[in-house]
A and B are shown apart, each in its own frame.
Chain A
Amino acid sequence: GNSVTQMEGPVTLSEEAFLTINCTYTATGYPSLFWYVQYPGEGLQLLLKATKADDKGSNKGFEATYRKETTSFHLEKGSVQVSDSAVYFCALSDGGYQKVTFGTGTKLQVIP
Chain B
Amino acid sequence: GAVVSQHPSRVICKSGTSVKIECRSLDFQATTMFWYRQFPKQSLMLMATSNEGSKATYEQGVEKDKFLINHASLTLSTLTVTSAHPEDSSFYICSARVNKYSGANVLTFGAGSRLTVL
Q: Using a CB–CB distance below 8 Å, which chain A residues touch chain B?
A: 32, 34, 36, 42-46, 49, 51, 89, 93, 97-100, 102-105
Contact = CB atoms under 8 A, between A and B. Distances in A.
Given A42-B111, A43-B110, A89 B46 contact: no
For the complex of A and B, the 7 pairs showing the least CB-CB separation, nearest first, are A43-B111, A43-B112, A44-B109, A102-B43, A97-B105, A104-B43, A43-B109
B51 to A, nearest CB: 10
A105 B46 CA distance: 15
A89 B44 contact: yes
B: contact size bracket: 20 to 34
Tell me whether chain B's interface is mostly helix, strand or loop, or mixed.
strand
Interface of B: 6, 32, 34, 41-44, 46, 49, 93, 95, 97, 104-112
B109 A45 contact: yes
A104 to B, nearest CB: 4
Given A43-B112, A46-B107, 12 more contacts: A32-B104, A43-B93, A43-B111, A46-B109, A49-B104, A51-B104, A97-B106, A98-B32, A100-B34, A103-B43, A104-B41, A105-B41
